[in-house]
Amino acid sequence: MSIPDEQGGWLLGERLADGSDASLRAPALPRRALLMVSRSGGLRFTTRTITIYHNGLVISDDPARRPRTLSPQAIRRLYHTLLRTRPCRLPRRSESSPDSYVYSFYTRIGERICQFEVVTHNAPPAVRTLLRLVRQAGL
């Protein structure tokens, strides 16, 4: 079972769904977060991260972007799309090209913490739908 510490991170020795040590590999996924997504790359190489909570709150790491709230329907659609992608079965790492974006996903499905990466040009169809919803949420 994954139990976050007081700061929302993971305690040493906790395990991800694939059995690897969560404290050494994953960023601090806030307690009530449904999904955290980072987008890195592009020609100018930029990185942006958003965190989407179960209550619909969307927080960006960009201080110029204000928090926003997704509708209950949008959260349900995002959650069901996330489940359809089977995140704990997707590869943790993905090969990228210099001008593409790499999306890193971190999520909790029940008690399991799942992490996977996709590249824009070779994402599976179910993940493309998830990417579209995440972009609409503010990434």
DSSP string, 44-112: TTEEEEEEEETTSEEEES-TTSPPEE--HHHHHHHHHHHHHT-GGGS-S-----TTSEEEEEEEEETTE
Q: Is the pLDDT of residue 5 over 70?
A: no
Looking at per-residue confidence, does 128 or 12 come out higher? Answer: 128
The pLDDT assigned to 17 comes to: 55
Q: Other C-beta atoms within 10 Å of 105: how many?
A: 21
Q: Do residues 49 and 61 touch, judged by C-beta distance below 8 A? A: yes
Q: Is the pLDDT of residue 128 over 50?
A: yes
Looking at per-residue confidence, does 137 or 13 come out higher? Answer: 137
User: Distance (Å, rounded) from C-alpha 2 to C-alpha 6?
Assistant: 13
The pLDDT assigned to 93 comes to: 62
SS3 label, residue 127: helix
The pLDDT assigned to 63 comes to: 86
Q: Give, as one character, the DSSP assignment of residue 19.
A: S
Mean residue pLDDT across the chain:
77
Digit-coded pLDDT (tens) for 24-77: 445 677 878 889 999 888 778 888 999 999 999 999 988 888 999 999 999 999
User: Distance (Å, rounded) from C-alpha 29 to C-alpha 35?
Assistant: 8
Q: Is the pLDDT of residue 131 over 60?
A: yes
pTM of the model: 0.74
